[in-house]
Amino acid sequence: MNLQHRIDLLIKLAEYMSSADADWLAAKEKASLENGWFIPEFINLAIDNITHNFLQKEQLENWVNHYPNILTDKDQKNIGVVMAGNIPLVGFHDWLSIFISGHKAIIKPSSKDKELITHIAQKMISWEKDAENHFQFAEQLKGCDAYIATGSNNSSRYFEYYFGKYPNIIRRNRTSVAILSGDESEAELQNLADDVYQYFGLGCRNVTKLYVPAGYDFVPLLEVFKKYDHLALHHKYKNNYDYNLALHLLNKVEYMTNGSILLVENENFFSPVSQLNFEYINEKTNTENLAEQQDIQCVVGKNAIPFGQAQCPS
């Protein structure tokens, strides 16, 4: 397939992913049944972000215009991809980058997020037989020309060992933080709630820590965050909330809660599911260089990524 053919196929895919096609609805339902964290609300959110931010005709054409070699490079490479499974279709953009550039993705999908990406591959091949030259699924990745692997800090060491001698992109644990001034509007706090709660906080773009000024009033924030009270009814999330609450009670750790999230003063960037860490800003706090930290994916705030946009990469 030439570049224009690939773009046309991706536009068709966007239409399909936005549709109520029976096969697609069944695939989404199966994905939700196979992974308890993949509730329909968040599967649809991930799909909407993909179709609106990645698969629109103008976006695709503007993207490839930055890489003129795509038109002239006829040497197809096999790119091994180890996909994560923390949020629905989290590895989609890795495959998209390989496909649009004309290469072949040898995919090892996560057992937590296998249904949707395999369904997409099968559907595209049913539309265009030549698409099978850009997809392959494998339990082991061997003999590839380059590798993209996403996983934990522990698994990244194995990726470095096995893939280090090849061209590679290896991603480790990352998370996101938000910087508050104290004068945020209710609408901005509503948007911040999305950055914190969407995907149950499991994504690397989820805010897991706040930087707040001394004397910050958390009451309005906790009140606004009640928009996600329904997540406290989800059994897996509730188990995490109850466990972390019990730990804080046993260890006499101070916390604040609205019933669906625990606010805890803690310097760590990472927080467990159902908990949001915070740190007071003082003269020793360096918030200007947060984006350069190895553990930080996004910095959200008025002079950074806008509130509510952390989960909308484009």
pLDDT of the residue at 75: 87
Residue 80, CB-side half-sphere exposure with 13 Å CA sphere: 22
Determine contact, residues 245/257, Cβ cutoff 8 Å. yes
* Average pLDDT value for residue range 232-249: 98
Nearest to 240 by CA among 197, 210, 280: 197
Give the Cα separation of 134 and 221 in Å (integer): 46
pLDDT of the residue at 313: 84
Burial of 60 (0-12, 13-18, 19+ CB in 10 A): buried
pLDDT of the residue at 288: 81
* Average pLDDT value for residue range 181-210: 98
Give the Cα separation of 83 and 171 in Å (integer): 10
pLDDT of the residue at 212: 97
Q: How far is CA 163 from CA 75, 140, 170, 217, 273, in A?
A: 21, 12, 9, 48, 31
Give the Cα separation of 296 and 205 in Å (integer): 9
pLDDT of the residue at 287: 83
Convert the pLDDT of each residue in 118-148 to its tens digit: 999 999 999 999 999 999 999 999 999 999 9
Q: Which helix (H) or strand (E) segment is 186 a member of?
A: helix 186-197
Length of the chain: 314
Nearest to 101 by CA among 122, 75, 121: 75
Q: Which domains does the chain have, with CATH numbers?
A: 3-171 (3.40.605.10), 175-300 (3.40.309.10)
**Cα torsion angle, 58, 62, 68, 70, sign:** negative
Binned at pLDDT 50, 70 and 90, residue 63 comes out as very high
Q: Say what the pTM is.
A: 0.94
pLDDT of the residue at 71: 73
* Average pLDDT value for residue range 69-79: 84
Convert the pLDDT of each residue in 260-304 to its tens digit: 999 999 999 999 999 999 999 987 787 888 888 999 999 999 989
pLDDT of the residue at 73: 66
Residue 4: count of CB within 10 angstroms of its CB: 11
Q: Which helix (H) or strand (E) segment is 277 a member of?
A: strand 275-281
> How much of the chain exceeds pLDDT 90, in percent?
92
